[in-house]
Amino acid sequence: MVAGPLPAPSGPGKDRLRLWIRLLRASRTIEAELRERLRQEFNTTLPRFDVMAALYRAPEGMLMSDLSRFLLVSNGNVTGIIDRLVSEGLVMRARRNGDRRTSMVRLTEEGSKTFAVIAAAHEKWVGELLGNVSENEARRLTGMLTSFRSNWEGRE
């Protein structure tokens, strides 16, 4: 998927394929860099960061199913990540509302403080890594990505 044929492909549809390859390479490269820094600087991982970021926006907590929908990952996946975050004392499961199937998951106080620190560094890193993109260009690119995505996402 990441492969871009050296003899550059041409023909109908090739431009979109090339776009996809670039998109994927760009996001993989950035992702790898962020993962490495999270590990080195904070001894954590990208999935944990993602989960904590989602929970940080929801002080009242989230259902497991909301989390997996929001993060675009499977149900079982979230269970494991939350398990680990709970064992680290950063997240808590609160079995509190009427429905005993569900549990509200949220950051502990420590989790919230920890995340705030990591998030600040993360934002700085992203700023650096995308430093050659002007703010204007960033907004334009964002717009393009948004519009194309919303047009087909969730179809199947």
Partner DNA sequence: TCCTGAAACTTCAAGCTTGAATTAATCCGC
Partner DNA sequence: GCGGATTAATTCAAGCTTGAAGTTTCAGGA
93 binds DNA (CB under 7 A): yes
With tokens 């490269």, the residue in question is 29
> Which listed residue (8, 42, 44, 54) binds a second copy by CB under 8 A?
54
* Residue 51: CB atoms within 10 Å: 29
User: Bridge-partner residues for 62, per DSSP?
Assistant: 105
From 34, 63, 104, 121, residue interacting with a second copy (rule: CB under 8 A) = 34
H/E element holding 144? Answer: helix 135-152
Instruction: Say which entry of a second copy, DNA, none residue 130 contacts (CB below 5 to 8 A, set by partner kind).
Output: a second copy
Query: For the CA atoms of 131, 136, 142, 144, what is the dihedral angle to 10 degrees?
Result: -130
Q: State the DSSP code for 11.
A: S
Query: Which of 64, 67, 73 has the alpha carbon at shortest distance from 102?
Result: 64
Within 113-152, the residues that bind DNA by CB under 7 A are none
- Considering CB distances under 5 to 8 angstroms, the limit depending on partner class, which of a second copy, DNA, none binds residue 96? none
The smaller minimum CB distance to a second copy, of residues 81 and 98, is found at 81
Q: What does 8 interact with, of a second copy, DNA, none (CB < 5 to 8 A by kind)?
A: none
Stretch that binds DNA, among 19-27, 65-73, 130-138, 145-153 (CB under 7 A): 65-73
